[in-house]
A and B are shown apart, each in its own frame.
Chain A
């Protein structure tokens, strides 16, 4: 039997029968529109005119000099409209959903960035929007909840399980089985059943496409390393994609280690998880010996997910990409460091990538180049980081 949407042994379509025709319909529509000149033109216009692409590739001179090793460039996805890379995928999927005749978007969100992006696209394209968000995350990211509502979306706090991102995904899937005909599930990361990991990756691959062009313009060559944070892994796969076939480029995904990979309070899936089947895909998951999905922890609501996208699991298996753990402490320190050094406040998710770049750069030569994807901006995190540092600030 043909197994669709596999990355090595990972991926697949482990979903209820009720959703099968919906994902098949989605795959057919995507296969049709992805090469349709009109679709491509519309999406490109949205990227450029609405989202503000291409995003800048910024040479972080002070950071480079201070660390005293490789040259560091920051891919500024934080400068996109809505403040993160999430908009790339959402504009693609919303446009696709619109072409498919869908009038309603549902989405899960962790930190709220994907929810805000989906609410934004829904407002722009006159679509109804419902966002599922773990109740715990609605508290951690209250400002983003307000933003989504302001944009006309309804936000449903999810109280089941650990009340975080994985439960928001489960609840969005449940809602999709309930209402399929007019509804597209705008999944926010390179995860879930086929064709989502492929669709989301393709829409996010604009990141590496631009990095490649921009770095050629500035340096006339490929980078030596590309670093991005990984929850489900959409900004990372977007940053890696056009370099996968370039063996000289090291690809490094930074997982949220929370309080450390030797503790239970971690979300570092590749480093601590094992092979499993969940949320529509085969991949690595944090789980116990009987396959019960483990409660995960990270200071970052956006990386607080017990799985990882199937393509990352495959890149790990074949040794093409490396996945490193970064703790809360390291991420918070990098959050503050980038703010003070470059005047750029990264999302706490992206700060995980910055933290690893800080470790790696000094070990490399001055003529080498690292690109770090700053997947989002950190305004949303300021109050939480202040609290982490013992200051009682509330939004």
Chain B
């Protein structure tokens, strides 16, 4: 069982943070606080100039990080430091070109060296994954696929070939806080489970409140929250650590 699977032994709360927003030291403190607050797995965003799957909140975080001059190597160095204490699985969330331009092989090797567990690339669908997934596998990295409300009959093949967990996109559109989630997430999860009973399903996109998290945790194995956290970091900057810590605690309490 990979480290990622262990994160799903109970209902998993998966927070996201963009590395280097507002600076690397704050990101480090935020990740440490997230683990202390009960996060089961943490998604680390490597900033990209043109994040086409993100809404305004995470776009802003990417921009802030890049305007600080954050590079992929800085993020690897951050993870190396984090791994001195952090035990929960860590997963990168970034865009294909960040990995491709670094060299897929070199990128995955670095991931393994610093102790990363998985990778999510929202602009690499099933059809293009063979360029990335086998290299990830070679270095013990899970290449985590996404399924969307529009995936329908595609869910079967995606789920069957999934590693780590399946990221269930709760809504159409890009990342961002939503008042309501209208998609039939339960059906999406059940299609995943039907194709691959062992693979954990975590639901993300649009979730911000403890009520939404509780509702999603009833039908899935985990809940992912990005924009709501990043928005607070955008608002509080270097003072966001206690705010994020309290928020993660409340969300963890809501789903357990």
A interface residues (Cβ-Cβ under 8 A, vs B): 1, 3-4, 12-22, 160-161, 166-167, 170, 173-174, 177-180, 274-280, 285, 287, 289-293
Contacts and interface: CB of A to CB of B under 8 A. Distances in A.
Interface of B: 48-50, 52-53, 55-56, 59, 63, 66, 71-73, 95-102, 122-128, 130, 145-152, 154, 158, 169, 172-174
A366 B152 CA distance: 62
Nearest to A24: B154
A13 B52 contact: no
Contacts of B52: 16, 170, 173-174, 279
Contact of B123 (A16, A21, A180, A290): A16
Contacts of A170: 50, 52
B128 A278 contact: no
A275 B55 CA distance: 27
B102 A291 contact: yes
Contacts, number: 123
B146 A17 contact: yes
14 contacts: A3-B130, A14-B128, A15-B125, A17-B169, A20-B151, A174-B173, A178-B174, A180-B172, A274-B101, A278-B96, A290-B71, A290-B101, A291-B97, A292-B48
Contacts of A12: 127-128
A287 to B, nearest CB: 6
A24 to B, nearest CB: 9
Contact of A276 (B55, B66, B100, B152): B100
Nearest to B51: A170
Contacts of A166: 50
Given A14-B128, A291-B98, 6 more contacts: A13-B128, A17-B146, A17-B148, A20-B125, A160-B56, A174-B55
A18 B102 contact: no
4 cross-chain pairs, A with B, having the tightest CB-CB distances, nearest first: A291-B101, A178-B173, A18-B148, A291-B97
Contacts of A289: 101
A17 B125 contact: yes
A1 B96 contact: no
Interface of A is mostly: mixed
A160 B124 CA distance: 23
Q: Which of A15, A18, A19, A166 has the most CB of B within 10 A?
A: A18
A3 B97 contact: no
Contacts of B59: 160
A13 B173 contact: no
A25 to B, nearest CB: 10
Given A177-B172, A277-B100, A16 B125 contact: yes
A20 B150 contact: yes
Most chain B Cβ neighbours within 10 Å, of A21, A177, A280: A177
Contacts of B98: 290-291
B252 to A, nearest CB: 28
Contacts of B152: 21
A1 B130 contact: yes
Contacts of A160: 56, 59
A116 to B, nearest CB: 25
Nearest to A292: B49
Nearest to A20: B125
A69 to B, nearest CB: 42
Nearest to B97: A291
